[in-house]
Structure 1
């Protein structure tokens, strides 16, 4: 692999040479690698095929989770959330102790305590980690999905970004059956507070418990806004909004 300088920025393959770009600049390398047909058929690549199968299933599980909470996720995620979630779910999959190698599944891993622990606390926006944004203690009722933050003092217990004047807090309760791709998401009414010094007990209760035979996920979200002429606008398109899986049952 070599770095090259040219009057023209070239990307693609020319004969046996491939030109490509990464974050450090433009590079050149010789074309090579194992053919797709050999990977799919050669016994020597059996482990590779097993890994690819499990990776595909894990990526699908991540997609199911993201789609199930899209209404929460759309303004509280970073640009690499897909790959980060897939990596986290790969650890969950490893806790499937019953399936043969190459067939391990996230859904079975999540049925175990270590599997749940691997995903609990996952932040969908690495630029706004909930434990750094929210400095107050809260309680969770796993039967109803209700979250209570007692005597929250917004300007002391929230690490609000510069320019923010208000915060919206939301809890959510998801039941997700990955095997059958069935989900039920219940979201609490939004609690919108000015970022002042008044202590307020915030109660976030989803409209109903999530139903189904899958795994139960619980979320807490903090979104920041700025008031201009009496209207609240999302701050920096949600760059500093936090969304975390606070528990899994």
Structure 2
């Protein structure tokens, strides 16, 4: 490490030297770091390569899941969901007992571990909708039925300004190996947040077990405001909850 002298101070890399500022001083040192070739071939970095491969696998499959549910995700802020979903999928592939380190996959892991994942990190379904939500997978009809009985005034925590809400569901068949997917979604009618009687919710969506044995189900709630007979999304969906509610393996 050496100090920079002269009127003009530099920050960045030039040639093999790295110029930087630390504690108010401008310093210079030889650029460090491990070369790409060494990282790729040196046995000392075997664990690093394995970790990188599995992190890439988790990120790739997280993108596939987000793509499958893109129609539903458009209704809520999901800025941090990509990173959080990758972290959750790392746990999934680490549960793979078939493949060795660096080769473990999401499809051979425990996909049930994604259950409960919230796409909106600031609004959770379990703290917004207190009704019991049932998921019924029918492999014969290849249909998912999401059902609930909701008493809005007691079962729904509605934000200020909301006059109505609706429940949504989505299902996705995911071929993680080939990167293929098939998804469908359904939305309930609007219910007033001050309704005191039970409202029946039953949403049916189709999945494709021929495409993949892996099926994920999403359940969410979105809030609306009625103005002059028209329904408008409330505050850009900031309070809408979207949760990966279940995993099903059609085997």
Where on the TM-score scale, by shorter chain, does this alignment land: which range?
0.7 to 0.9
Structure showing greater radius of gyration is 2
Summarize deviations over 1:110-159 as a string: whole Å, max 9, x none.
xxxxx133211111111110000101112221223111112x11122111
Partner of 1:234: 233
Structure 1 unmatched ranges of 5 or more = 1-10, 21-25, 110-114
Partner of 1:125: 120
Q: TM-score, length-normalised on structure 1? A: 0.83
Partner of 2:194: 196
Name the CA distance, whole Å, in 2 between partners of 1:224 and 1:17.
Answer: 52
Name the CA distance, whole Å, in 2 between partners of 1:205 and 1:230.
Answer: 25
Cα RMSD of the aligned pairs, angstroms, is 2.6
Structure 2 unmatched ranges of 5 or more = 1-9
Name the CA distance, whole Å, in 2 between partners of 1:142 and 1:172.
Answer: 12
Pair 1:17 & 2:13 matched: no
Runs of 4+ in 1 over 4 A off after TM superposition: 28-31
Residues 1:19 and 1:234: Cα distance change in structure 2 (over 3 Å): farther
Deviation at 1:226, TM superposition (A): 1.3
Summarize deviations over 1:27-63 as a string: whole Å, max 9, x none.
x997643233321222211111111111111100000
Of stretches 73-82 and 208-217 in structure 1, the one that deviates more from structure 2 is 208-217
Name the CA distance, whole Å, in 2 between partners of 1:19 and 1:72.
Answer: 46
Residues 1:12 and 1:204: Cα distance change in structure 2 (over 3 Å): farther
Of stretches 39-48 and 188-197 in structure 1, the one that deviates more from structure 2 is 188-197
Q: TM-score, length-normalised on structure 2? A: 0.82
**Local SS of the residue matching 1:218:** strand
**Number of corresponding residues:** 229
**Local SS of the residue matching 2:147:** strand
Residues 1:42 and 1:136: Cα distance change in structure 2 (over 3 Å): same
Residues 1:162 and 1:18: Cα distance change in structure 2 (over 3 Å): farther
